[in-house]
A and B are shown apart, each in its own frame.
Chain A
Amino acid sequence: MTVAPEKNELVVPEGHVKLVIDGIEVVAPKGELLIRTAERMGITIPRFCDHPLLDPAGACRQCLVEVEMGGRPMPKPQASCTITVADGMVVKTQVTSPVADKAQQGVMELLLINHPLDCPICDKGGECPLQNQALAHGRTDSRFVDRKRTFAKPIPISTQVLLDRERCVLCQRCTRFSAQIAGDPFIELLERGAQQQIGIAEEKPFQSYFSGNTIQICPVGALTSAAYRFRSRPFDLVSTPGVCEHCSSGCAERTDWRRGKVMRKLAANDPEVNEEWICDKGRFAFRYTGAADRVLRPMVRDKATGELKQASWTEALQVAAEALTKARGSAGVLTGGRLTLEDAYAYSKFARVALGTNDIDFRARPHSREEQEFLASTVVGTTPETGVTFTGIEAAPTVLCVAFEPEEEAPIVFLRLRKAARKGRTKVFHIGQWTSPAVEKTFGTLLATPPGGEAAAVDALSSHAPDVTEGLGKPGSVILVGERAAQVPGLFSALLRLSEQTGARIAWIPRRAGERGAVEVGALPTLLPGGRLVADAAARAEVEQAWGLEPGSLPDVPGRDTNGIIEAAANGELRALVVGGVDPYDLPDPQLALKALRTADFVLSLELRHSAVTEFADVVLPIAPSVEKAGTFLNWEGRRREFGTTLDGTGALPDCRVLDTLAVEMDADLFTQTPTAAAGDLARLGTTSTARAAAPTVESRQQSLPQSDGQALLATWRQLLDNGSLQEEEPHLAGTARRVVARLSEHTAEVLGVDKAETVRVSTDRGSVTVPFEYADLPDGVVWLPGNSGDVRVRRELGALHGSPVNVHPGGTE
C-alpha cells in the first residue's frame, strides 16, 4: 500500500483527527471508536461484545489490533472497540499485522474451546457471528482435546426467552442491553471464571418488554425464544422488510417467513425511529393472523336461521350494497384505530361518497369533542420536518409526559426518553398518578394528580412547579400527550396554553398504529382528508374537484363522533353501521355499543377474525392483516412508514379494495382498488391552504375526590401486554406481561378498610372485579387498575373511565 502523495493531503476538519489504518490515511471525528473508523473504511475487525448502541465493554477481546502512538508502539495489542481515535495514531489490523492476526485467532480459538459446536441444531446456525467470524478469522482445527464445560440446558429465564449457557460467549450484550437500553436489569452475570454465566435472580424472571432484543443481538445461539426455537433455519427463510402494526411508533421490522407462514419478526435498523430495537409485542405478537376464528370467506346472515353462512363475494357485496344504498344518509362508519393510511382513506371516502355522510370516526376508545378539535387544529398535517420526532425527543432539554405512559403505550418512545435521560441532557417530567416503572427508568419526576385532575395540574404548573415551565421554555423542549387525555376535560386546551406560554412543542402519541393516519385522511366527523374542514365550503370544493364529484355533493354538516354514532344507532336514528376493526368492549360504553349493533337494521363488518361485531353483523367481509397487504402507517411523528406485501397470494384483500368494490356495487367510484391506487388518489388531493380548525378552549376543572365512604377515583390505562386481540395465540409472550394488580396508597387502603385483605373488589353499578393489590405512591382516594389485563377489563366489567368514581371494598381471599 502506498501512502497518498503529499499534495493530496487530507484536510482535517475541526473536531477531527487524522490517523493511519493499515497504511491508509483517514480522517475521523474525535471520540470515534477505532473499530468504527476501520469499518467505515471497509476494514471489518471481528467482534462479539461490541455493539454500536451499547457502552463499550472490551470483554471478548476479539477485536485486538496493533496501535502505535506518537511513533511508539503500544506494548500490548489494543481492543479496537474501546480505544478512541487519536491524531497521529498508526493502526495495524489483522490485515497488515501478524500480531493482531494471531491475537484474533487466539481469542477465537479460546472462545471455541467451550462452545458446543452444535451448529447443525442451533437456531443461530447460518446467521451466527461466531460461526461466520470463526470461518473468517479462526483456525481450521482445534488443539483442544480436553473436557468442555457443560451446563444443564436450556433454562427458561422467562416464559419467552430460553438460555443455553454452554453456547454463551459471555460478551454481556444481553446484560448491557437490559441494564443500559431497557433499564430492566433482570439478567446479570453470575459466578466467575469459566463458570461465569448469565442468570436471573430466584423467582425474578426476565420480565422486560424488550427481552426479545437480547435474542437478536446475541452473537451466538445462547438466547432463543420459545416462539421460534427449533422452528426453522435462517437460510430457509425469506426476509421481507415491514412496519410494525401495533403501536404508533411505526418501527421498521424484518419479517422472516416461509411457505406462506411468518416464522419470526426482527427489528430492522432505522436510526430515525426505532434504532435497532423493537418491543416484544412487535416481535412476538403476530400469530393472531393464523387464529382458528379467522374470517376467510365473505359471510351473509341467513334470514331464516339467523346464522352467518359463507357466501360468494358477489352475493355478499350485493347484499351489503343494497342495504347500504337504502340506508344512504343514515349510516355511520366506525373504522377502528388500526388501519393503514390507504385503508382509512378508503373508509373516509366511502363514507362521504358512497354513504353521503360525515358520520365517521376512527376512535374506538373514549374520546371527546375537545380531542377532535385538538387533532384538527394541532395534529393534522404535522410531519417529521415540522413536528416533534424521536430524535427531537432525544435532543430535548425537557420532556413533559401528560396522560401518557410511554413504556406501556409507545415502548420505542420510552426507549428514546430513557436514552435521552440517561445521557443526562434531558429532564423528564410525568404528570400521572404513581411512580410507574417508566417514571423511574426515564429518571423522571412524577407530578402526581388525581385522575381527571391533569388539566388543573397543567394550569397550575407555573405556580406549583416553576422548574417544569422553566425547563419547557428551553428551545427544543417537548410535551408528549397520550390517548388518555381525551378522558380529561380541558386537558388538551390546558396543554395548548402551556405550549403557547413556554414555546414547547406538543406531540400526540396515540396507542394504536392507525390513529395518526386516520386523522390525516379525515376519518373524523369534522375533517376531510388533509385537515380540510367539513364545514368549510372552500375545503369541500377542493375535495369535490379532486374526487370528480358534482359541486355541492359532499355532505356539509359535521357528522357524529363514535359516541354519537353509537347513540344514534342504538335509538334507531341511524339505520346502518359499517364497522372496521372495532372491539365494542374498547368503547366508552360497551353496553350501549352492543345495543347499537343489535338495533341497527344493517351491520356490515369488515373483519379479520370473528368478534363481538361479527356476532351482530348481517354481512361480514374478510380483510387482510398487515402482513398480507401493502400499505403505509403514519406514525405519531407523521412519518410515512410504507411497507410491501409480505405474504403474497393468500387471497386476502385489503379494506381499500373491498370498499372500492362495494362502492362500485353502490354506483360510486373510490379509485382505491389497490393500496397504491388509494395512495395515489390521496396524494392528488395535495395540501390545502383552506382554513384550519380552531384550537379547543375547554375550561380545566379541579377533580374533586369522592366524598362518600368506600369510594375512590379510578385511574386506569392499558398495559403493553394485555388481553389485546392482536396478542392472542402467543402464550409465551403473555407470560411476560406485568402481574395484574390494583394499586393504591397505604393510607387509602386503610381508609377504605382493605389493608387487611388480600384482594380488593372494585365495583360500579355495571359490575365488579376482584384483584390483588399493591401499594404505590398514588394520591389518596385513588385506585389504579390496568385497563384490560386478565380478569380486570375495566370498560367491559365496570363501564368506568379514567377519573370515574368507583366503589372499593375488601375482596376476601383470591
Chain B
Amino acid sequence: MSTVDPVTPVLTKRWLSPRSWSIQTYEQLEGYTALRKALTATPEQIVQVVKDSGLRGRGGAGFPSGLKWSFMPPNEDKPHYLVINADEGEPGTCKDIPLMMADPHSLIEGCVIASYAMRSHHCFIYVRGEVLHCIRRLNAAVKEAKAAGYLGENILGSGYDLEITVHAGAGAYICGEETALLDSLEGRRGQPRLKPPFPAAAGLYAAPTTVNNVETIASVPYIINGGSDWFRRMGTEKSPGPKIYSISGHVERPGQYEAPLGTTLRQLLEMAGGMKDGIPLKFWTPGGSSTPMFTAEHLDVPLDFEGAAEAGSMLGTTAVQVFNETVSVPWAVMKWTQFYKHESCGKCTPCREGTYWLVQILERMVDGNGTEEDIDTLLDVCDNVLGRSFCALGDGAVSPIQSGIKYFRDEFLALCQKNREKNRKPAMAGAN
C-alpha cells in the first residue's frame, strides 16, 4: 500500500478554524486578498491565468473553466451573468454544501473575481432549496461582504459593481443541469433547454451567461493568489489542482477529504480510516451514482478526469460511495433507479419512460420474480436510453444498471432462480 502524501489543504484550509464562516476569520486567513489583486488586472488577464492554471469544472463534466469564460462576448451589449450551480443533488455528493457552510466567503470572493473577469454585474447563486441552513449562511455572508465593500457598488474603489443574489431552488435534481437551472432561475419549470444557443450566447434572460460549480469558483481566489504554476503543482498534467472528495458509505470516517486530483481510492480509504469494521469492499462509485460503478479491482485507478474515464467510468463530482460485501448490487441499483425515476423531469421520452420501465423490472427482480430475459431487456432498454435522451441525466440513470450487470451479473441471475424453479416443467404430468 502506497503512503498518502498529505497535501496542505487549500479549499478546506479554514474549515476547522473557529467561526470559519465569518468574514473576520476569512480576512485573517488571507481572505479577499486575491480580490484586491484581481481588481488591478484586466478581465482578459484573469481569464488567461485561469486558462493557464488548467482549472476544470468541478461539477462533473470537467470542462476547462478558463475556456468557458472566454466564450463570453467581449462587448456588453446585453448584461452578462455569472450563475453558480449550488444545486448539489447528485447522490453521494456532499462537497459544495459543506464548503458553503464552512467557508462561504471563499465562494463569494471567487464570484467577484469571476464576475469581474466576465464583465458581469449580477451573479446568482442557485442553492438547492432543501439546505435552508446553507442558504441562510450564504445570505449572511453576502450581507457581510457588502458591508465590508467587497460587493455592491464601486468594489474596493475599483469602480467595479457587482450584486449577488442567493436563490433557493425548489428541490429538483434536474435543476443541477445548467440550462434547467437557468429556466428554474427565471421562474419557469425546470427542464433542460435546447442547445444551441449555449448559455454564453443566450443564457439567463437570453443574455450571455456562464454557469459554474461552487468548488470551481471557490478555487479561483487561490489561483489568483498562488498563480497558475502553483496550482499545476497539484494533481496531474491534464487534471491539475486540489479536489474535495466526498466519501460516504461503509468507511470508518466518512466525510470530505481534500486531495490532489489523481488520488486513488486506496489512498482515500486510508485517509478515511479504512473499510468500516473491516468488512471488505464490494463496489463503489467514483463520482456519484451517475458514474458507472467500480469494484475492488479499481482501487488503484487514479481519480482524475482521464483516469476514471480510462477505467470505464467518469470522475463526476468525486462523490465516492463505498459499499461493502453486505450490500446486494441489484438492490442498490434498484434504489438508485428509483431515484432517477422520481427525478426524471419528464421532458424527453427515453428518460421519462425508460426509468419508469427499468424501475418496474428491477423491483420485480429484487422481489425474486425476475427472469433471465429481464436482464437482456434491462440492458437493451438502457441502450435505448443512453445517448438518446435530451440531456445527460438519462445517460446517468442507466450507468448503475449497465455497470452493475457488467460486474455482478451473477447476482442478477440469482434473483431469477425462484422463477426458474417455479417454471420448471415437472418430469411427469401430474407429478407436482
Contact between chains at A106 and B387 (CB < 8 Å):
no
Contact between chains at B348 and A61 (CB < 8 Å):
yes
Query: Which residues of B in the span 330-380 have a Cβ within 8 Å of any Cβ on A?
Result: 341-350, 352-357, 360-361, 364, 373, 377, 380
Interchain CA distance A59-B349 in the complex, whole Å: 7
Check: B390 CB closer than 8 A to any chain A CB: yes
Interchain CA distance A3-B355 in the complex, whole Å: 42
Interchain CA distance A189-B349 in the complex, whole Å: 14
Mask of B264-290 contacts with A, CB within 8 angstroms, 1/0: 000000000000000000000000000
Contact between chains at B349 and A192 (CB < 8 Å):
no
Interchain CA distance A447-B172 in the complex, whole Å: 44
Contact between chains at A196 and B377 (CB < 8 Å):
no
Check: A360 CB closer than 8 A to any chain B CB: no
Stretch at the interface among A109-117, A152-160, A405-413, A537-545: A109-117
12 A-B interface contacts by CB (under 8 A): A57-B194, A58-B348, A58-B390, A103-B388, A106-B380, A110-B349, A143-B373, A144-B357, A193-B346, A193-B352, A194-B353, A196-B345
Contact between chains at A76 and B388 (CB < 8 Å):
yes
Across the interface, A146 reaches (CB within 8 A) one of B344, B361, B388, namely: B361
For A110, list chain B residues within 8 Å (CB). Answer: 349-350, 353-354, 357, 381, 384
Contact between chains at B360 and A147 (CB < 8 Å):
yes
Contact between chains at B390 and A59 (CB < 8 Å):
yes
CB contact under 8 A between A169 and B189, given known A144-B357, A146-B360: no
Across the interface, A107 reaches (CB within 8 A) one of B172, B344, B349, namely: B349
Q: Most A CB atoms within 10 A — which of B189, B342, B353, B354?
A: B353
Of all chain B residues, the one with the shortest Cβ separation from A76 is B387
Of all chain B residues, the one with the shortest Cβ separation from A105 is B384
CB contact under 8 A between A77 and B388, given known A111-B353, A114-B353, A143-B377: yes
Q: Most A CB atoms within 10 A — which of B349, B353, B380?
A: B349
Interchain CA distance A60-B350 in the complex, whole Å: 8
Interchain CA distance A170-B191 in the complex, whole Å: 13
For A58, list chain B residues within 8 Å (CB). Answer: 194, 348, 390
Check: A661 CB closer than 8 A to any chain B CB: no
Give, as a whole number of angstroms, the nearest-CB distance from A530 to chain B: 52
Across the interface, B357 reaches (CB within 8 A) one of A62, A146, A189, A195, namely: A146
Check: A64 CB closer than 8 A to any chain B CB: yes
Contact between chains at B387 and A196 (CB < 8 Å):
no
Mask of A162-181 contacts with B, CB within 8 angstroms, 1/0: 00000001100000000000
For B344, list chain A residues within 8 Å (CB). Answer: 192-194
Check: B12 CB closer than 8 A to any chain A CB: no
Interchain CA distance A668-B103 in the complex, whole Å: 100
CB contact under 8 A between A60 and B349, given known A76-B387, A113-B357: yes
Contact between chains at A191 and B384 (CB < 8 Å):
no
For A195, list chain B residues within 8 Å (CB). Answer: 346
Q: Most B CB atoms within 10 A — which of A61, A62, A113, A147?
A: A61
Contact between chains at B356 and A61 (CB < 8 Å):
no
Interchain CA distance A110-B191 in the complex, whole Å: 20
Across the interface, B353 reaches (CB within 8 A) one of A56, A57, A113, A188, namely: A113
For A77, list chain B residues within 8 Å (CB). Answer: 387-388
For B356, list chain A residues within 8 Å (CB). Answer: 113-114, 149, 193-194
Of all chain B residues, the one with the shortest Cβ separation from A79 is B390
Query: Which residues of A in the span 560-603 have a Cβ within 8 Å of any Cβ on B?
Result: none
Check: B389 CB closer than 8 A to any chain A CB: yes
Interchain CA distance A114-B388 in the complex, whole Å: 18
For B353, list chain A residues within 8 Å (CB). Answer: 110-111, 113-114, 194
Counting contact residues on chain B (CB < 8 A from A), the size range is: 35 or more
For A189, list chain B residues within 8 Å (CB). Answer: 189, 191, 346
For A75, list chain B residues within 8 Å (CB). Answer: 387
For B381, list chain A residues within 8 Å (CB). Answer: 106, 110
Check: A82 CB closer than 8 A to any chain B CB: yes
Check: A102 CB closer than 8 A to any chain B CB: yes
Contact between chains at A194 and B384 (CB < 8 Å):
no
Nearest 7 CB-CB pairings of A with B: A106-B384, A196-B346, A146-B360, A76-B387, A110-B353, A193-B344, A194-B356
Known: A58-B348, A110-B384. 15 other contacts (CB 8 A): A59-B347, A61-B348, A76-B387, A106-B383, A110-B350, A113-B357, A114-B356, A143-B377, A146-B360, A146-B364, A170-B349, A193-B352, A194-B353, A196-B345, A196-B352
Interchain CA distance A158-B410 in the complex, whole Å: 54
Give, as a whole number of angstroms, the nearest-CB distance from A76 to chain B: 4
Contact between chains at A188 and B189 (CB < 8 Å):
yes
Contact between chains at B388 and A106 (CB < 8 Å):
yes
Give, as a whole number of angstroms, the nearest-CB distance from A117 to chain B: 15
For B364, list chain A residues within 8 Å (CB). Answer: 146
Contact between chains at A194 and B349 (CB < 8 Å):
no
Query: Which residues of A in the span 124-161 have a Cβ within 8 Å of any Cβ on B?
Result: 143-144, 146-147, 149
Give, as a whole number of angstroms, the nearest-CB distance from A619 to chain B: 63
Contact between chains at B388 and A64 (CB < 8 Å):
yes
Q: Most A CB atoms within 10 A — which of B355, B356, B380?
A: B356
Interchain CA distance A191-B174 in the complex, whole Å: 13
Interchain CA distance A459-B213 in the complex, whole Å: 59
Give, as a whole number of angstroms, the nearest-CB distance from A680 to chain B: 54
Query: Which residues of A in the span 49-74 have a Cβ within 8 Å of any Cβ on B?
Result: 56-62, 64
Of all chain B residues, the one with the shortest Cβ separation from A58 is B194
Contact between chains at B388 and A61 (CB < 8 Å):
yes
Give, as a whole number of angstroms, the nearest-CB distance from B159 to chain A: 34
Contact between chains at A109 and B384 (CB < 8 Å):
yes
For B357, list chain A residues within 8 Å (CB). Answer: 110, 113, 144, 146
Of all chain B residues, the one with the shortest Cβ separation from A193 is B344
For B348, list chain A residues within 8 Å (CB). Answer: 58-61
Interchain CA distance A17-B255 in the complex, whole Å: 55
Of all chain B residues, the one with the shortest Cβ separation from A57 is B194
For B349, list chain A residues within 8 Å (CB). Answer: 59-62, 107, 110-111, 169-170
Give, as a whole number of angstroms, the nearest-CB distance from A72 to chain B: 16
Give, as a whole number of angstroms, the nearest-CB distance from B129 to chain A: 15
For A147, list chain B residues within 8 Å (CB). Answer: 360
For B384, list chain A residues within 8 Å (CB). Answer: 102-103, 106-107, 109-110
Interchain CA distance A64-B390 in the complex, whole Å: 11
For B377, list chain A residues within 8 Å (CB). Answer: 143
Interchain CA distance A607-B326 in the complex, whole Å: 87
Interchain CA distance A169-B388 in the complex, whole Å: 16
Query: Which residues of A in the span 32-58 have a Cβ within 8 Å of any Cβ on B?
Result: 56-58
Contact between chains at A61 and B350 (CB < 8 Å):
yes
Of all chain B residues, the one with the shortest Cβ separation from A196 is B346
Give, as a whole number of angstroms, the nearest-CB distance from B264 to chain A: 28
Interchain CA distance A113-B377 in the complex, whole Å: 13
Of all chain B residues, the one with the shortest Cβ separation from A75 is B387
For B346, list chain A residues within 8 Å (CB). Answer: 170, 189, 191-196
Of all chain A residues, the one with the shortest Cβ separation from B360 is A146
CB contact under 8 A between A170 and B194, given known A58-B390, A194-B346: no
Contact between chains at A193 and B342 (CB < 8 Å):
yes
Give, as a whole number of angstroms, the nearest-CB distance from A422 to chain B: 14
Interchain CA distance A616-B356 in the complex, whole Å: 68
For B347, list chain A residues within 8 Å (CB). Answer: 59, 170, 196
Interchain CA distance A77-B390 in the complex, whole Å: 11
Interchain CA distance A291-B103 in the complex, whole Å: 77
For B352, list chain A residues within 8 Å (CB). Answer: 170, 193-194, 196
For A57, list chain B residues within 8 Å (CB). Answer: 194
Query: Which residues of B in the span 198-246 have a Cβ within 8 Å of any Cβ on A?
Result: none
Of all chain A residues, the one with the shortest Cβ separation from B190 is A192
Interchain CA distance A169-B390 in the complex, whole Å: 15
Give, as a whole number of angstroms, the nearest-CB distance from B5 to chain A: 36
For B194, list chain A residues within 8 Å (CB). Answer: 56-58, 82
Interchain CA distance A64-B349 in the complex, whole Å: 12
Of all chain B residues, the one with the shortest Cβ separation from A60 is B349
Give, as a whole number of angstroms, the nearest-CB distance from A175 to chain B: 10
Give, as a whole number of angstroms, the nearest-CB distance from B352 to chain A: 6
Contact between chains at B341 and A194 (CB < 8 Å):
yes
Contact between chains at A192 and B350 (CB < 8 Å):
no
For A107, list chain B residues within 8 Å (CB). Answer: 349-350, 384, 388
Interchain CA distance A147-B342 in the complex, whole Å: 16
